């Protein structure tokens, strides 16, 4: 999706979101809720909806986009979980300043080294698979008969690219129960929390400078000859059971981390 000029009124916002939704609905299996979420995230992260911008009322969005009010409210809630908007009774919904690290973002924020701008996700490809092989995640998750793997190839502002991998016990979240299009442009933690009716607790974080092997380079479409910042984060459930193990691969020549 190409960046558009910032909007001037609420009618423009609805037109822009409707066009973006139409493009997203061309994806196989896409739902209106997912299309609206992806459209909102793209419009905000591309700067089309700038910080401080007030969004149309949810009832106006539902009418203008030809979707149900429930679809709008669900999509708005998911975008709020990403820390991109603030919904407040009596004041409507406004786009937040992305330079402020919101409480919904646990582990870290990424910045472009050259400009200092926050790395903002414009698009991502998601692949869901399973494995019975042990890996670096096994120390946190323990021995499982099968693991569910959610891999993301992320494209962001300033043509930046980042790879991400989340691993869970397949008994908790079977790979077959997940749909890639439902996870696009979402906070995976909050989506899984809502799905399972659980509360997650932050665990350990580790950062190392490493290089991708050829397989990883191909998986995440990142160059193998450039060092990456490898961030590992483990998360628990409220009862202290392991929840997920996540690894982020960010090119060290392009990305700085803020914790």
* pLDDT at position 9 over 70: no
Percentage of residues in the chain having pLDDT higher than 90: 75
User: What's the CA gap between 67 and 32, in Å, rounded?
Assistant: 7
Q: Which tokens in the block code for residue 205?
A: 């974080």
With vertex at residue 80, the alpha carbon angle to CA 77 and CA 85, rounded to the nearest 5 degrees, is 125
252 in Cβ contact with 209 (< 8 Å):
yes
Q: Is position 104 within any domain?
A: no
**Same domain, yes or no: 70 and 190:** no
Beta bridge partners of 200: 237
* Confidence class for position 243, pLDDT limits 50, 70, 90: very high
The model carries a pTM of: 0.85
> Are residues 59 and 159 part of one domain?
no
* CATH value at residue 134: 3.40.1410.10
Q: Are residues 140 and 80 part of one domain?
A: no
Name the residue range of residue 170's domain.
109-258
């Amino acid at each position: 999706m190409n960046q558009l000029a910032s909007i001037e009124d609420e009618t423009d916002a609805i037109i822009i979101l409707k066009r973006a939704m139409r493009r997203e609905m061309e994806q196989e299996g896409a739902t209106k809720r997912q299309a609206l979420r992806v459209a909102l995230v793209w419009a905000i992260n591309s700067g089309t909806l700038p910080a401080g911008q007030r969004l149309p009322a949810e009832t106006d969005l539902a009418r203008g986009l030809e979707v149900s009010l429930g679809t709008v409210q669900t999509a708005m809630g998911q975008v709020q979980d990403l820390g991109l908007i603030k919904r407040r009774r009596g004041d409507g919904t406004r786009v937040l300043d992305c330079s402020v690290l919101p409480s919904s973002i646990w582990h870290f924020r990424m910045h472009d080294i050259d400009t200092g701008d926050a790395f903002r996700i414009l698009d991502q490809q998601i692949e869901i698979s399973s494995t019975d092989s042990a890996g670096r995640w096994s120390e946190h998750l323990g021995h499982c008969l099968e693991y569910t793997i959610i891999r993301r190839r992320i494209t962001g502002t300033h043509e930046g690219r980042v790879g991400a991998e989340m691993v869970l016990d397949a008994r908790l979240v079977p790979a077959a129960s997940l749909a890639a299009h439902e996870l696009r442009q979402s906070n995976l933690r909050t989506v899984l929390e809502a799905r399972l009716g659980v509360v997650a607790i932050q665990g350990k974080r580790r950062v190392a400078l490493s290089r991708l092997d050829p397989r990883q380079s191909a998986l995440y479409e990142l160059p193998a000859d450039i060092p990456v910042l490898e961030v590992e984060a483990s998360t628990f459930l409220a009862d202290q059971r392991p929840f997920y193990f996540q690894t982020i691969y960010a090119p060290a020549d392009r990305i700085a981390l803020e914790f």
